[in-house]
Structures are given as structure tokens and as C-alpha cells.
Structure 1
Amino acid sequence: MKISQVTVRKRLYFALVFLVIAFAALIIRLSYVQLVAGAEITKKAEDSWRRDIPFQAKRGEILDRNGIRLAYNISSPTIMAIPIQVKDKRETARQLSGPLGMSEDLLFKMLSKRESSVELKPGGRKLTAEKAQEILALKLPGIVVSEDNKRFYPYRNLAAHVLGFTGSYNQGLTGLELQYDERLTGFKGSVSYLADAAGRKMPQSSDQFMPPLDGLSLQLTIDQTIQSIVERELDQAMLQYQANSVIAIAMNPNTGEIYAMGSRPTFQPDKYQEVPVEVYNRNLPIWMTYEPGSTFKIITLAAALEEGKVDLEHERFYDPGYIEVGGAKLRCWKKGGHGSQTFLEVVENSCNPGFVTLGQRLGKEKLFSYIYDFGFGKKTGIDLKGEENGIMFKPKQVGPVELATTAFGQGVSVTPIQQITAVSAAINGGKLFKPFVSKSWIQPKTGMVLEETKPELVRQVVSPETSKKVREALEKVVAQGTGAKAFLDGYRVGGKTGTAQKVVNGRYSPNEHIVSFIGFAPADNPQLVVYVAVDNPQGIQFGGVVAAPIVRNIMADALPHLGVKPRTEQVEKEFKFGEPRIVTVPNLVGKTVSDLYEDMNSNFQLATSGTGNTVIRQAPSAGARVDQGSVIRIYLGASD
């Protein structure tokens, strides 16, 4: 069949048009790729060629209230490999095996991976700077050092349960390290380079460095000095009493700020693997629940005073040693009872039948209303993980016996943080504050405070007038009652003892107790409140004997640190038989030896140092208050 010239021309025309259109489309596409999408395509290509070496951000420091570092970072480089750049994998593995403490076969396997970069772990992680330099000095192709750091706790186990600790990748695992992990962590940085398909660095390409963004620094309400004082006393208590555990909290009653919080057993944050998980995973001051015993009587006292149910000074109560309630005989701790006494003496003597009477006068609705208003039965909201609620009777469970036992702190369960928070409200003017340990967030480079925690008032529980009466009664407990061993000469101390039987296998144990003491000072204007609880101390098991002296020791050192000055006016201590009286050291400087012995009396013993006839120095200095019979050391020299 013969094709006509017209048909040929048409076909050539259509072919030409198609080629023109195709060529135009190609030009448009190339123009788009070059002029419009070029940057994006280039970026995608570079992304596929790019290899990153990560740089960890510095984790934010944790500081005490005065800026002392409690947790910070120290340099700890990590060794990485870029497998494609490693020329002799077997020889490289051999040279690295010694310094890294890893097997040659394991390293060879890692160096043979088809990955852009490999972390040589575990031996290559968190090294010292010296070890990293040793490895760099080998000049092994494809082996690089990635800057890294690890957490350091300079005061070892100080506030360990509060601070918590981090894992191998600097991630928070417990305590504040976990609570505020995101803010403390910051954001990673990296060094990026371009590599071909074989992993070789492209010639004439430049590295890109994206600096890490360091985490924020966290400043606490914790005072390192007061925390150290508390830790010292916790260690001493465990050594002396061989207890199951010891708990202590020191707090500003007017704000809710925690000055110190600790417990035993404890651990070192960077060696947490050396202790059982329950030791580091349970912050006892906020986790442990137990029957509080007589420290809970402060709540009953405050409620009775607020409701006008008792006149402490003029109303009397007779204690035969027990009180019968609902067919049960509830006994006083003192066999035979205290006899006739004022209700102020009921408080001083921690008389159970007297407090049962106060609970009965209030009734279950009123008493439990105040208990809940003081914060019991629910979490305080402190900014730490692991807080428990405690256990209260449900209203339908409260009969005459339950009402009576609750009034003196038995049958209910509380946490230490609830106890100290509630008592703070009872003695600070009636204000319940939310406790907290995080004071502010700080920008690490500039030192600028970005966010600050303000004291949070939860509610007004009792009136300032009631609170004043509670303080005065509790000061008498220390000066003249069961809290005598917390008496601190020069400081007006108030407080309350607690001795509670432990429940073992569903029954109250006659041999196991939790003994406690809560104290505050100055009694007329509280600046510090301290709570100590000792679980099952060996030997004597009374709060006034075991826990009260611990609180006294903490306050003796913490109050001067807080700038609370001693005073001469305080409720006179009622000394019991055998207790040493407190006397004032006289000024002996300038006296001759002959005058000295004529003027001295049985209040002191003398120890001399040096030669001469005149006292040139003495210790303790004049005006100090010491126990009667204490030794005064005098230094003798020649008179001027």
C-alpha cells in the first residue's frame, strides 16, 4: 500500500510537535529542578550523604538554696567508630581491646557493622579524659571521640533520696533527676560531615557543628549545711540504736520550704547498684506510712482549742491510768495514771485518757473535719515522686473506740511529710502550706532566674490565737514535760513526743515501736520545725528518750546557721532527779591561780595548760551555757 506525501507530512508534523512539546517539558522540568526545587533536592541529597557524630548537652546542675552544687557533670568522653573509615578492622580491634577492656572479637564485630557510626560500648562509654587521650594517641583511622559527660554527686549520699540519680545515658531514674528530667536534660548537638556511598568523607566539604543546648539548673530549698547536720544525726542514730530505719525532715514552718530531708538506710547515687532496689526506690519521709502516736495529739489539741472545748490552765482532769470506751479499757502510758492534773499538764504528760476526753468533746465529725483540714488522708503535693496518702477511718467506720484511739494517734496512718506539714500549720499561725523542695530554675550561662516557686497557702486551719496557745503548751512539754531531752538552753523550743506500737501480722507488737519527736523553735516565732522518727530502736523505746535528743542536736546547730540568735528568756526547765543543771561559765581570764580556786565552786571542773600564775585564755568562753560539772580548760601565762 502506497503512503501519500500528505500522510507523511502529517506524521512528520505530529512527530515534530511531540518532540517540541517533550523538549519544552524537559526544559521546564530542568528549569524547575535548577531554579525552584534545586535547594530542596540538594538538601535531600546532602541529608542522605550526611553523617552525624552526636554531642551530649550538659545536664543542668542541682544546687542548694545558697548555690552550693549538689549534682553536676564531669567530662566523660565516649569512643565511637566510623566503620567504613576503619582500614584494618582486625588490627584496630586488637589495639583497642586493651584500653577499652573489651574482647578483640566483640570489637571486630562492632567495627564490621554496616552503619555510619558505632558506639564502642560498654568499654568505650564514659571514659576519663586521660583514657580518651590515650586512645586518640593511637591515631587509628575511623576512631573518633564524642564529647560526653556523667553525673557527679560531690557529697556522696547527701540528700540521696531527694536528688535521685541518672542512668548510663544521663537520663533521670529516681528523685528530682526523674521528676524534672526534661528540663535538666537539654538538647543534643552534633558534628556533621558529608560522605559518599562508601562512607568516605567527601573532599572539599566542610563540617557543620550544631552546639548542644544545655539543660537548666535547678536550685532547691535544701540547705547543704542543715542537710549535713541531719545526715550526721541519722548516721549516729542508726549506729546507736540499730533501728530498722530512721527518718528526719527539717522545714520552714512559715513557707513550706524543706531545709533537709533524709533517711536511713541510704545509698550513693553513683553507686545505687550496690544496694537493694527498695533502698533507693523508697523515699521514706514521703513514702512510709505508720501510726504516728502522740505527735498526732497536737492536732486534737489544736481542734479542741479552736472549738472552745477546753481551758488548759483552769480546767482539771483526773487520770486513774485508763479510760473505758465502748467496753474497751484504753490505758495511759504511765502505770497508775497521773491523777488530778490541769489539761495543760495533760498535754505536758502526754496523757492518753485526757486526749480521749478531748476527742469525745469534739465528736467524730468535728475531729475528723480538722484532721482532713490539716492535710491528713491525702498527698501533700510535694514535688517529689512516690508520695503516699496515709490511711484514715471512713466516717461509717468510726465508732466510740475509733474516735478515742484517733484522738491520741492510734488506728490512723500518716506519712512523715504529712505530720510535719500539719504541725507547722498548728504552730505558725494556723496556715497550712504546701511543702516543696524546688526553689527556682536558672539559666546556666547567664545565671538568670527563669522561674521561681512561691509559697502556696492551702488553707487557714485554725486561728492565730489558737496557734499561739498550741505553741505555749508545746513549749511547756519540752521545759516541764515528756520532751525534756529536747530542751535547748538559750532557745525557746516547743515539741511533742510520740511512741506508737507497730502492727505486726495484724496485731500490735508489745516489743516493736516507732518512736518520734517533732520540735520547733523559737516557740514564740517558729523559724524551724524538725521531725524525727526511729523505727524499732533497740533498747529503750520512748520518743522522749530516743528521738527528742536527735531533734535537739539538729536544732542546736541549725538555728545559729539560720541566724536565729539565742536569748536569755525562756520557760525555766524543770529538772528531774539525776539530770545535770545548766550553768553559765564565769569569766576567769585575768584571775590568778590562787583567786581562781577560791572563787570556783562545784559547778565546774578545771583543767590547766601552760605555765604561769595568771589565766590568759579559757574554753569554753565566758557566758557559755554548759551542763553542771563540765570541764573548763584554762591556759596559764605570765601577767602583764
Structure 2
Amino acid sequence: MLFVAILVKLLYIQVWQYEELHDKALTSWNRQVPQQTERGLILDREGKVLVTNQLHPSLHVMPGQLEDKDLLIRELTERSGLPETVVRKEVERKSYLNHLRSTSQALTKNDVAELQTLGVEGLYSSLAFKRSYPYNSLLASVLGFTGADGSGLAGVEYTYDHVLKGINGNLEIYTDAKGKRAPSNPDEWNPGRRGYHLQLTIDLAIQQLLEAKLQRAMEAYKAKQAIGVVMNPKTGELLAVVSLPTYQPEDYQSASPDVIYKNLPVTMTFEPGSTFKIITLSAAIEENLVDLEHEHFHDPGYTHVAGHRLRCWKRQGHGSQTFLEVVENSCNPGFIELGHRLGEERLQSYIRNFGFGASTESGLAGEQKGILFSKEAYGPLEHATTSFGQGISVTPLQQVAAIAATLNGGHLVKPYFVSRTIDPYTNEVVAETFPELKRRVISPETSKKVRETLGEVVAHGSGQQAYRSYLSVGGKTGTAQKAVDGHYLDGEYIVSFIGFAPVQDPEYLVYVAIDAPEGSNQFGGTIAAPIVGELFEDIAEDSPALFEKKKTWNDLPETIVPQLIGETKESVLPLDYPFQLIWHGDGNKVIDQLPKAGEPSRPPYTIHLYTD
């Protein structure tokens, strides 16, 4: 009976319980060497790679299998350049599997390959990758960066970490209790799954152009910061987002936290200045409170509100002018009058309907809501200053979204920068973002009137530096005094310009702001407007301007670009005046030029020269 009982027990264990006990045994013998999978690529709207991966293998040691420890430590020390104490500590750590993290980071891919040829038992290499940014600091404030473990820490890398990060694989090795390999069980490879690719709405070419222009402006005017946004006003697609100063994502540890965690178009809030006047103008036109062409307004240079004298930027005033000229001249008292006609409640309602005081929901990390006056703190004085863009705090992206609504027929659109999520194996689109219209804020008729009025601002008013006779450009300048802790800083301004093209049916909306430029001409019309005009030269299709530019005494004439292809640097240098020559390449012979020979050149007469 005892023999039968033992036999039954053996059968029960070896037959009925076999699978369960076998799995438990394998689990207890199983040792896993982690294998990192590649993060998904980040692409621009045309499929150009903005962020990719570089193979950088890691090393692991199983102390129980290590027979020639001293040889391994000596080889690792020589190749990594690390102190022997550091390497020895990593190798001898009490664990079934030691990840040689510091040593691996100090080795090259070739070093790891050569170490494997030594045949050291217990040494394993595993797949690991580090992020690579082919365009260095370009778009860094949007893209962000990853940590040593490959997880996103900022920007798109952080916000979309769950999309970009794949499922890691592993190499399963079976050992006995002492860590020795169990030859009866072969190793198993689990490949994991790569992360999804992310395609952005960003246009690489536009991003490069705008970032380069703003970088030059910062250097020329010794400015603290620069901001740029390009958006399709019809769809809300962000084509470029610039935040300067910038940093190298691959070396983010060397950058200031004030730079790496701030994407100025959404994290910086400030008084918008005169660009905000477009909102007051749109509301007044929508409510039929002004006749721009026929109604006149007299500006003595100031106006009194609630016992305070509010001045125009032009101290002596603009005198008698139509309300169209009020807009062209960016006359503060004239806009205070428009605000008075609208009334406090109605203007505040329009401001909120245009999206101010709330997130644009763009998805960009760290976006702020801005600050509007509370109902209790909003009196006649606050109402007057709000009418011309002072006293409230907004983000650049809020301004772009709001102004887009004044141009696209009256719809407030949601800005967005992620276009598609793509399967890395099949290239199929697994998720897609489509334009989202939040609400209508003004009528198409009002929108058309606003576009035409802003076209006249560029042709006849403060935005003339953005004018191009072969382009249909509209826009508005802004010059806002910087406020800190409730006090305005003496002599520090944020100068800006928001422009669009073509006026009839805008495809591009561009916002540029320069923070605290040095010099006497701290105005949006003289610093920011030319940058937008130059950008439109590069990206917008030719379309004759709706309005002829108002000639001024200091207008410089057009000149014809000379033929410089085939010339040397020495022969070209005498042309450095009146032309501004920008060299590309380290050669001595010119092989290409922009603009081409024979084309008209407009101030500042810039010619790009490409050498051999």
C-alpha cells in the first residue's frame, strides 16, 4: 500500500503537475539580460527625420559565471579610461546580474564588440540606444530630451513618451543556484517591440529659416530672448516654433534649467502691446461701432481716463485722422475710444471668446493661461489700457490663435503640432490629428475687413518694414514695456510683429518677438517687422500687394543683383557695400548665389553666396 501511494504521488507530480512545476523551475533558473528597443523616430511634416537613435550597447556581468574577473576588469579599465576602483565596484556588486552602466557609457560601440571577442564567460552585451538629434539645437524647446534610461524628460520626448517608447525585449538565460549556465535549457531571445514614430506639423525648412533669422537678430541687438511662431491660420497647424536661447538636447545637462524647461511661445506671458489692438478693432467692426474710412478722430497725444493721462506713443499726437489711420498709426487714444464704444462687458466677452485667459490646448508642454483682470479689479482705467494691449498678460501662442481667428473667416482654431502616429513596422497611420474649430468669434465680413485694414498697416503705417511689392502682406506691430512685480522696467521693451500672407486668403501667420533689444530704435516696426518680411520672401508665393506702399523720405531704391558665380572671395569683397554678403561654405570660389543675378534686390540688399 505504501509503494502504491508513492507511485501515485510520483505520477501526480510528473504528469498532472508537470507544467506547473516545470514553469516554476524555469522561473527560478531564469536570468534576464535586458534588451532595449528603439524609440520611435520624430519626423517633420515632409517625413524628414528630426530625432533618431544611435546604437550604444551596454555591458552586463553575471558574477556567478565570471571565471577570469581580473582580466575583465583590466580590459574594461584600459578601454573606458575610468579608475579601476569604479570598474571593480560595478563588476563585483552582489547581484545575479550587474549592469556596468558607467563603464558602458565610457566605451564606444567598437570597444564593446572587441570585448566580446575575448570570450569572457559571464560577460554579456545588450542592445541599448541613445537619442540623436541630426539638427543639433534646432527645435530643441519643442522636441525636448531623454534621460540615461531612454525615458523622455522634456518636450515631445516627455509628453509623448508612452507613444515613442516601445516594449523592451530580453535575453533569457537559465542558470543553477550558483549562477552557472544550465546547458539543458537553451537561451531564449524576446525581441520586444519598437516605439511608434511621431510625425509633427513642423516644416523643417521654415523652422531653420526663422530660427536663423531670430538668432541673428538677438546677436545684432544684444537681446535677452527671441520668440517665433508660424501657423497655418486656417487649420491651426504649427509650422515653426522658435524659443531662443536654445540648447543641445544631447548635452542638456550643460544647459540652464531656465532654458531647457521653457518653451517661450507657451510658457512666457507678457503684455502684448499693440498687436492686441487687432482684437479691439475686430470687436468694434463686428459690432458696427466704427466707420474706418469716413469717421474721424482727433488725437492731441493723450486722453484722460479716471483721473489719469494716458499718452500716445507719439507725444505731439496724430491730430485729425480717420479711424483707418488710427489703426495704421497704432494710435493709443483712438483705440481707447473704440474700447469705450464697446463697453467693459462687451470687450471682455470678446477677449475671452478669442481664447485669452485659457490654454490653447496645443499640447505643448508647460503652456500657461495668461492673466486677465478679474471683474472686481476691472474699472475704467483697466478697460482703457486693455483696449490697446496693456495691463493684461498673454502668451505668444494665445495671440497667434486669436489673430488667426480674425483672418480665417472668424473661427477660433486649436493650434496643434503632432500630425500622425505611425507604425514602425508597417508604416500605417494608427492615429491622426485633424483641424479643430472651437467656435466662431466674428463674421466672415468682419474678417475680410480686418485683413484689408492690416494690409494697409503694412503699406501705409507702422508695419512698412514688412512690405514687399511682389507679396501681399498684412500685419501689426507691437512695442510693450516689460513689467516685473507690478512695475515697468525702465528702457526694457518686448518688440513684436504679427504678419500674414497673402492678405486675400492667408496661408501663413507669423509672430516674432524680441525681448529687451538694445539701441534707440526699440520698436516692433523697425526690429521685428523686417524679420517677418524677409521670412515671407522665402516661404510665401508671389502675389502682388493689394496696396501701394506709402513713400517716405528714407526709402531706399531697388537695385539689381550682380553676377557673382565664378568669382573669388577677394574679387567679391569690394561689393560688401551696399550689399550684405552672407557666406556659406569654406571654399574660395562662388558656385551659387541667392538671389540670382539680374533679380531686383530690396533693402537690406542681402546676397547669400555658396562656395565650393
TM over 0.5: yes
Give the CA deviation at 1:582: 4.2
Structure 2 contact 76–103 (Cα < 8 Å) conserved = no
Partner amino acid, structure 2, of 1:550: I
Superimposed CA distance per residue, residues 367-401 of structure 1 (whole angstroms, 9 cap, x where no aligned partner):
01000000000111111110001000012211111
Report SS of the residue matched to 1:469.
helix
What is the distance in 2 between the residues matched to 1:228 and 1:624? 24
Q: Which of 239, 242, 248 in structure 2 is aligned with 1:259? A: 239
Alignment: residue pair count: 579
What is the distance in 2 between the residues matched to 1:153 and 1:586? 38
What is the distance in 2 between the residues matched to 1:79 and 1:394? 59
Report SS of the residue matched to 2:228.
strand
Partner amino acid, structure 1, of 2:448: K
Aligned to 1:131: 111
Percent sequence identity is 48
Alignment of 1:202-221 (within 5 A): 202-221=182-201
Aligned to 1:417: 397
Aligned to 2:478: 498
Partner amino acid, structure 1, of 2:124: V
Superimposed CA distance per residue, residues 298-346 of structure 1 (whole angstroms, 9 cap, x where no aligned partner):
0000000111111111111111111111111111111211111110010
Say whether residues 1:115 and 2:91 are aligned partners: no
What is the distance in 1 between the residues matched to 2:542 and 2:255? 42
Aligned to 1:184: 164
Structure 2 contact 166–196 (Cα < 8 Å) conserved = yes
Give the CA deviation at 1:177: 0.1
Report SS of the residue matched to 1:300.
helix
Give the CA deviation at 1:44: 0.7
Give the CA deviation at 1:491: 1.0
Give the CA deviation at 1:127: 4.2
Structure 1 contact 93–105 (Cα < 8 Å) conserved = no
Structure 1 residues 330 and 371 mapped into 2: Cα distance closer, same or farther (>3 Å)?
A: same
What is the distance in 1 between the residues matched to 2:398 and 2:604? 41
What is the distance in 1 between the residues matched to 2:434 and 2:159? 19
Alignment of 1:262-411 (within 5 A): 262-411=242-391
Q: Which of 206, 228, 231 in structure 2 is aligned with 1:226? A: 206
Structure 1 residues 285 and 48 mapped into 2: Cα distance closer, same or farther (>3 Å)?
A: same
Structure 2 contact 80–106 (Cα < 8 Å) conserved = no
Report SS of the residue matched to 2:468.
coil
Give the CA deviation at 1:29: 3.6
What is the distance in 2 between the residues matched to 1:119 and 1:628? 61
What is the distance in 1 between the residues matched to 2:270 and 2:375? 20
Partner amino acid, structure 1, of 2:536: M
Aligned to 2:133: 153
Q: Which of 406, 409, 419 in structure 2 is aligned with 1:439? A: 419
Give the CA deviation at 1:544: 0.4
Aligned to 2:536: 555
- Unaligned segments of structure 2, at least 5 residues: 564-577, 580-592, 608-612
What is the distance in 2 between the residues matched to 1:325 and 1:393? 17
Say whether residues 1:577 and 2:562 are aligned partners: no
Alignment of 1:454-469 (within 5 A): 454-469=434-449
What is the distance in 2 between the residues matched to 1:193 and 1:89? 20
Structure 2 contact 480–495 (Cα < 8 Å) conserved = yes
Structure 1 contact 229–558 (Cα < 8 Å) conserved = no
Say whether residues 1:452 and 2:432 are aligned partners: yes
Give the CA deviation at 1:583: 7.1
Structure 2 contact 475–500 (Cα < 8 Å) conserved = yes
Q: Which of 621, 626, 637 in structure 1 is aligned with 2:601? A: 626
Give the CA deviation at 1:418: 0.3
Aligned to 2:461: 481
Report SS of the residue matched to 1:125.
helix
Q: Which of 85, 89, 92 in structure 1 is aligned with 2:72? A: 92
Structure 1 residues 73 and 499 mapped into 2: Cα distance closer, same or farther (>3 Å)?
A: same
Q: Which of 523, 542, 549 in structure 2 is aligned with 1:542? A: 523
Q: Which of 568, 584, 590 in structure 1 is aligned with 2:544? A: 568
Say whether residues 1:238 and 2:218 are aligned partners: yes
Structure 2 contact 166–193 (Cα < 8 Å) conserved = yes
Superimposed CA distance per residue, residues 35-61 of structure 1 (whole angstroms, 9 cap, x where no aligned partner):
222111101101100111111010000
Report SS of the residue matched to 1:266.
coil
Report SS of the residue matched to 2:359.
coil
What is the distance in 1 between the residues matched to 2:9 and 2:459? 95
Give the CA deviation at 1:193: 1.8
Give the CA deviation at 1:112: 2.6
Aligned to 2:174: 194
What is the distance in 2 between the residues matched to 1:503 and 1:112? 58
What is the distance in 1 between the residues matched to 2:396 and 2:266? 6
Structure 1 contact 86–143 (Cα < 8 Å) conserved = yes
Structure 1 contact 489–625 (Cα < 8 Å) conserved = no
Structure 1 contact 161–175 (Cα < 8 Å) conserved = yes
What is the distance in 2 between the residues matched to 1:121 and 1:519? 51
Structure 2 contact 37–127 (Cα < 8 Å) conserved = no
Aligned to 1:3: none
Report SS of the residue matched to 1:533.
strand
Give the CA deviation at 1:619: 9.3
What is the distance in 1 between the residues matched to 2:137 and 2:595? 33
Partner amino acid, structure 2, of 1:304: A
Report SS of the residue matched to 1:122.
helix
Partner amino acid, structure 1, of 2:528: A
TM-score using structure 2 length: 0.91
What is the distance in 2 between the residues matched to 1:221 and 1:83? 50
Superimposed CA distance per residue, residues 216-274 of structure 1 (whole angstroms, 9 cap, x where no aligned partner):
00000001100000110121011101111110001110011100001111101001111
Mark the structure with the bigger radius of gyration.
1
Give the CA deviation at 1:191: 1.1
What is the distance in 1 between the residues matched to 2:246 and 2:6? 74
Structure 2 contact 495–514 (Cα < 8 Å) conserved = yes
CA RMSD of aligned residues (A): 2.2
Structure 1 residues 408 and 25 mapped into 2: Cα distance closer, same or farther (>3 Å)?
A: farther
What is the distance in 2 between the residues matched to 1:230 and 1:128? 36
What is the distance in 2 between the residues matched to 1:428 and 1:443? 34
Report SS of the residue matched to 2:146.
coil
Give the CA deviation at 1:621: 6.1
